[in-house]
Structures are given as structure tokens and as C-alpha cells.
Amino acid sequence: MNRPDHPCHDARPGPSPAENNPTPTGSGPIHAGSRRTHRLGGLLAALTLAAAGAATTGTATAHAAPHTADATRATATATATATGTNTPKAAPNLLKNAGFENGLSPWSCSADSGTTGTPAHSGTAALKAAPSGLDNARCAQTVAVKPGSAYTLSAWVQGSYVYLGASGTGTTDVSTWTPGTGSDWKELTTSFTTGPNTTSVTVYTHGWYGQNPYLADDITLTGPDGSDPGDPGDPVPSAPGGLTAGRTTSSSVDLSWTPVGGATGYQVYRDGTKAQSVTGASATVTGLAPSTTYRFQVTAVNAAGESPRSAEISVTTAAGGGQPPASKHAVTGYWQNFDNGAKVQRISDVQAQYDIIAVAFADATATPGAVDFTLDPGLRYSEADFKADIAAKRAAGKSVVISVGGERGSVRVNDAASAANFADSVYRLMQKYGFDGVDIDLENGLDPTYMTQALRALSAKAGDKLVITMAPQTLDMQSTSASYFKTALNIKDILTVVNTQYYNSGSMLGCDGKVYAQGSVDFLTALACIQLEGGLAPSQVGLGLPASPRGAGSGYVDPSVVNNALDCLAKGTGCGSFKPAKTYPGIRGAMTWSTNWDASNGNAWSNAVGPHVHGLP
């Protein structure tokens, strides 16, 4: 959101290239108001041009480097078939769990990574990783090597723009890639020599931004083993036993199991998907919905890999809790506690089409994580009148929340103490002014662990009627691994709505991996689809737009575009070139910055969008 002396956000930078990735010869769409360039279009163009120049030698494919600077790094290795009867013994593979038969351990992989049994190059599993937003789905493993030694790295891959490489070699880091394999498996191979002091290297594979999931299997690193020859290594641990559910609430379950010898940690699976990692033989799984049955399993892990999964148990959460009360479909508007040229308002002046009014903004204090609120004296608005106006809106069925952050917000919640301070101070403001809850609009980053902790502590104080809204920027909701998205999913059981700011961003990726230009129906629907398919309920997704061209630096659209986007998502009508695979009739609605800019324009935005939102299925 915009502070009074700063009419627009800085647009966030586009994706930066990963290790040894090609530098584009062109550039993609420009982020409006940004000093940086969204490079996806140019990157893919450069990759395509490089692929066209690939050549073959002998019986093996020469893997063309995607850019001149990579030509000395990406080494194409031809494989020859040995003749005669004396076949040399295959060199041992230095990588552990190279075929992903034991899950992902000890690989370090992006959030949208997992294993699949079909197809696999060999064995029963392969890596399947999905690039998303600014995440290229990297999966890496660090291995001990010997200084000044030669190594060969290879992998079998399937998909488009799949990379294989090694970093930290102490000499020239290497990578190779393929522009596409179709439905076939293709072997990538490269080699390197370690530096005189190098004792470990990191082997990695990854895809490319906006592309479909890729597969990798049978990743091999051969050369001198740098580990202690006297250490035979630990075996893969056995599956944990005795998985039991303890205390169960409407939103959480306590799990415990029998410790496994040789395990260094455990993975908890919920409904077949990895939910969290812990070091001890117990875990509390949060973010659950009330009166819902979940299936849980646990595995043990160590450096050798991941155990088979434990026996499955089913647990049903308690009733109660659930989503806070609010209109089924809601219009959210930000009320400005300052004068920046928009029409100055009192809360009583905010027109009736708004269901949730976010008071912008709370102020940081000297206490880490704590916030306070003071009415701007320039508004000539007494505290008594302010409280009375809030009470009147609430009596009319509206919700009024205090917004924390804004473009220049400086609140930091990054440890347990600041999380407690945040919860305590927000609750004091709720009691003092009559706020129904809090809006999280921190545009300078947040810590999902401690913000989750803070909001759950606030929920424990305020109870089930607490309203929690969020207003992330578009980039913050491109991937479930992003901090804002993680936080939203962490508090899904107490979250009211996420109103993403679909402005001041420039072109972005949609859920189909395509790039869409800001200011169109396609931009709104394809980006909202990321949240709708990424784990949020439709009732927790709203479209955030400026109320007038003066309300933001870029991204204003006519209210009819907002209504068409809502119809596309809710009913499958009014769509542009992007049409979602299914409809979301429960979508919450829309948000605008701000009620003041709307009033300056004769309330044209809310008069058009409000009735449309309230008339959705």
C-alpha cells in the first residue's frame, strides 16, 4: 500500500539467473516503475537460439552451452562402447540416493519437489520437480572430494530446459543442459577438476522459470572419494513405529512415535504430502481445518537416505474454530489515516459497499515487533469520534481491522520475543479502538515462522471472531515457497482473505507458466489461479486493485475488468485468453487502495465492483 509521501511501490526485481545459467541476448517484459527488467522472455529466446546450434558428435549428443561464457564450462562427453572381453569395473558413485529410491534425503530440494514412480529411468523412483515463480526447482547434494582430482558428472533427465552442474569446484564450475527431451530420457554429462584445496563440491540439477515439471534420475558422480575411508557410513534407517496422535484441537494435532536408531531427523507426511521436518520423535502439525479427517505417516532420515514410511494413522480434528465470520463475498477498502491529496474521510464516510475496512496504518514502536496507532492530527478527527464510527460500522455488520505495514512499514517480527510483542500490541489496539482484527501489509519482507507464531498468539487472545487479512504484492504469491504464501498456508484455519495487490508489478507468471501483462483480465485470473490451486480456499482469495489511476503507480484497470475477472473465476464467463480449468464460485471478492481515492472519484469503483461482488454465486 502507498504511504502518503510515496505514490507507488517499487516494483520487485524479476528472476535472477541460477548457477551458470545463460545470460540472455534479449530482454523480457519491463516491470512498470522498476529499475530492473523481467528477463524470462529473453532467457527462453536465448535458450531456443542456443538449442538450434547444438551439434552431435559420434554416438553421443554434444550439449551446447547456452551462452558463449558457458562454452568453456559445459563439457560434452561422448561415451564409447568398449570392445573385447576385459570390461573395466564401473567406478563407484559418490552420490547418495542417486536414484531417489529413498525419497529426497539427503538432497536439498525446492519446496515443489518430490519423487515419482512413473516414469523412472531405472528402479522405482525419480526426482520430479516443478519450477514456480522465481523458483527454478533446484535439487542439490554436497559431496566430499579430493583436491586436484578429476570427476565426471552425469544424469538422466526428462523435460524442457533441464540443467546439471557442479559448483564449488575450486576451478571452473561447470554446467550442461538440454532444451528439451520430449517424453524420452536423455543423459547429460560434464566433467571437472577440483582445485588444490577443494574438499567438497555441490552437485545440482534444476529446471527453468515458467516451464513444466522436469524429471531426473540416476545422477552419478565418479572420481576419487574424499570421505574418510575408515567410515563405512550409516545405513538407511528403518521405518518408525508406534505413531500415535495426542492432543487434538480444531486446527492442530500432536504426533509422537518411537525413536529410530541412527536417525538424524524425521519427515512428517500429511495425506501423502510432506508437511514438516523435525529432529525429535514428536511433532505438532498446525494449519488444519476443524472437523476434518487427516492421514499421517512418518519417516526417519540420515545421511544415507530416508526410511520407508510408517504405518498410517487417521486423525479427525475437533469442531469449532474455522474461518472467522465475514460476508461470504466481501469488498475490502483501505482507509487512509493521512492526507496525500485524496479525499479526506472519517470512518463514517466510507460508503456502505465496503464490508472490510482496513485502517492504514499502525506504527512501529521502539519495542521490537510492537505496534501502536495514533490518529493523524491533520485529519481533525477526535479519538472518541473515531471509536464511535468504528462501533457504528461494526453494528452495521462491517469489519474494521488495523493494517500493519505499507510501502514504508518497518515492523520486524523475526524471533519469539518480537512475535509475542506483535500479538500483545495488536490485541491492545483491538481492545482500545474496537478493531475486529489485523491486516498484514508488510511490503519489506516477513518471517513466516514468527509471523505465524504471532498471528496464532493473537488468535488465542481474540478468539474465533478474529479477522485476519493480508495484502501481499504479486511477487510474494508466485510460489508456495514464498514467505507470504507460506504464512497464509500456515494460518489457513484462521485466515479470512488474502487480497493480493495486482498492480505496481509489471508482467508476471500465471499458474500455467505463461507471462501475462499487468492490467488485463488474464493477468488477474491467471495469477489468482496460483493461490486458488496452491492451497488457499476460494473464500480466502481476493483481487486487489487501485480505485483510481492516482491510487497507484501502475496497474489501474476499469472496474469492468475487475468484474470480468471475478466472473471468469467464479462462473467461467468473461475470461480472456486464459480460462481456468474449473470455476471457484466461493471466491471472496475484491480489495482497493483506497476508500479515499475511490471517494475522490465519486465512489465509481465501489459503486461498480461492490454490487457485482455481492451478487456472485
Using alpha carbons only, give the angle 170, 176, 179 rounded to the nearest 5 degrees: 155
Domain-embedded: residue 291: yes
Q: What is the per-residue pLDDT for 481?
A: 87
Q: What is the per-residue pLDDT for 520?
A: 97
Please provide the average confidence, as pLDDT, over all residues in the chain: 82
What is the pairing mode between strands 541-546 and 589-593?
parallel
Do 1 and 126 belong to one domain?
Answer: yes
Cell numbers for 226: 574424499
Q: What is the per-residue pLDDT for 32?
A: 32
**Is the Cα dihedral 553, 554, 557, 558 positive or negative?**
positive
What percent of the chain has pLDDT above 90? 59
**Within 13 A of 220's CA, how many CA atoms are on the CB side?**
14
Q: Tell me how crowded residue 616 is: count the other CB atoms within 10 A of its CB.
A: 18
Domain-embedded: residue 324: no
**What gap in Å lies between CA 466 and CA 470, rounded to an integer?**
13
Domain-embedded: residue 541: yes
pLDDT (tens digit per residue) in 123-148: 888 999 888 766 788 899 999 999 99
pLDDT (tens digit per residue) in 247-291: 777 777 888 999 998 888 898 998 887 878 787 888 888 777 778
Name the domain count of the chain: 3
CA-to-CA dists, residue 465 to 438, 461, 613, angstroms:
12, 11, 22
Average pLDDT over residues 371-378: 96
Quick check: 87 pLDDT over 70? Answer: no
Do 19 and 157 belong to one domain?
Answer: yes
Cell numbers for 288: 488444519
**What gap in Å lies between CA 599 and CA 596, rounded to an integer?**
5
- What's the pLDDT band for 409 if we cut at 50, 70, 90? low
- What's the pLDDT band for 122 if we cut at 50, 70, 90? confident
CA-to-CA dists, residue 154 to 160, 218, 577, angstroms:
17, 8, 41
Q: What is the per-residue pLDDT for 327?
A: 65
Domain-embedded: residue 478: yes
Element (H, E) at 608: helix 604-614
Quick check: 154 pLDDT over 70? Answer: yes
**What gap in Å lies between CA 274 and CA 255, rounded to an integer?**
14
pLDDT (tens digit per residue) in 37-62: 333 333 333 333 333 333 333 333 33
Quick check: 15 pLDDT over 80? Answer: no
As a whole number of Å, the end-to-end CA separation of the chain is 29
Do 404 and 530 belong to one domain?
Answer: yes
Domain-embedded: residue 325: no
Instruction: Among 316, 343, 371, identify where a domain stops.
Output: 316
- What's the pLDDT band for 1 if we cut at 50, 70, 90? low
- Which position among 312, 383, 443, 533 bears the catalytic label? 443
The label of the residue with cell 518408525 reads 240
**What gap in Å lies between CA 26 and CA 450, rounded to an integer?**
41
66: Cβ contacts below 8 Å, ≥ 6 apart: 21, 22, 46, 47, 50, 74, 177
**Within 13 A of 13's CA, how many CA atoms are on the CB side?**
5
Higher pLDDT, 477 or 212: 477
**Within 13 A of 576's CA, how many CA atoms are on the CB side?**
16
Quick check: 114 pLDDT over 70? Answer: yes
Q: CATH number for the domain including 276?
A: 2.60.40.10
Quick check: 400 pLDDT over 90? Answer: yes
Using alpha carbons only, give the angle 227, 228, 233 rounded to the nearest 5 degrees: 80
Do 94 and 160 belong to one domain?
Answer: yes
Instruction: Among 232, 257, 276, identify where a domain stops.
Output: 232
449: Cβ contacts below 8 Å, ≥ 6 apart: none
Do 276 and 417 belong to one domain?
Answer: no
Q: What is the per-residue pLDDT for 285?
A: 83
Q: What is the per-residue pLDDT for 214?
A: 93
Average pLDDT over residues 119-124: 87
Which amino acid is residue 85, in one-letter code? T
Quick check: 78 pLDDT over 80? Answer: no
Do 269 and 371 belong to one domain?
Answer: no
Instruction: Among 264, 281, 316, identify where a domain stops.
Output: 316
**Is the Cα dihedral 448, 39, 515, 32 positive or negative?**
positive
Do 463 and 588 belong to one domain?
Answer: yes
Q: What is the per-residue pLDDT for 484?
A: 94
Do 18 and 134 belong to one domain?
Answer: yes
Average pLDDT over residues 547-560: 95
Average pLDDT over residues 591-617: 97
Q: CATH number for the domain including 123?
A: 2.60.120.260
Per the CB < 8 A criterion, the answer to whether 550 and 340 are in contact is: no
pLDDT (tens digit per residue) in 424-436: 999 999 999 999 9
Quick check: 229 pLDDT over 60? Answer: no
Domain-embedded: residue 322: no
What is the pairing mode between strands 265-270 and 293-302?
antiparallel
Domain that holds residue 167: 1-78+89-232
Q: What is the per-residue pLDDT for 357?
A: 98
Phi, psi of 197 (to 5 degrees): -120, 10
Residue 379: exposure state from Cβ atoms within 10 A (0-12, 13-18, ≥19): middle
What is the pairing mode between strands 330-336 and 356-364?
parallel
Quick check: 89 pLDDT over 80? Answer: no
Per the CB < 8 A criterion, the answer to whether 207 and 131 are in contact is: yes
**What gap in Å lies between CA 161 and CA 174, rounded to an integer?**
16
Quick check: 525 pLDDT over 50? Answer: yes
Residue 533 — left, alpha, or beta (φ > 0 → left; ψ -120 to 50 → alpha)?
Answer: alpha
Q: What is the per-residue pLDDT for 279?
A: 79
Do 335 and 305 belong to one domain?
Answer: no
Angle between helices 448-462 and 416-433 (to 10 degrees): 40
Catalytic residue status for 533: no
Query: b/e string for 233-266 if b means 16 or more Cβ within 10 A?
Result: eeebbebbeebebeebbbbbbebbbeebeebeeb
Cell numbers for 29: 517484459
Cell numbers for 286: 498446525
Do 438 and 293 belong to one domain?
Answer: no
SS3 for 157? Answer: strand
- What's the pLDDT band for 323 if we cut at 50, 70, 90? very low
Do 117 and 197 belong to one domain?
Answer: yes
E strand residue ranges, 145-258: 150-158, 162-167, 174-178, 186-193, 200-206, 214-222, 244-248, 253-256
Phi, psi of 25 (to 5 degrees): -90, -15
Domain-embedded: residue 83: no
**What gap in Å lies between CA 11 and CA 215, rounded to an integer?**
33
Do 282 and 403 belong to one domain?
Answer: no
Which amino acid is residue 294, in one-letter code? Y
Domain-embedded: residue 496: yes
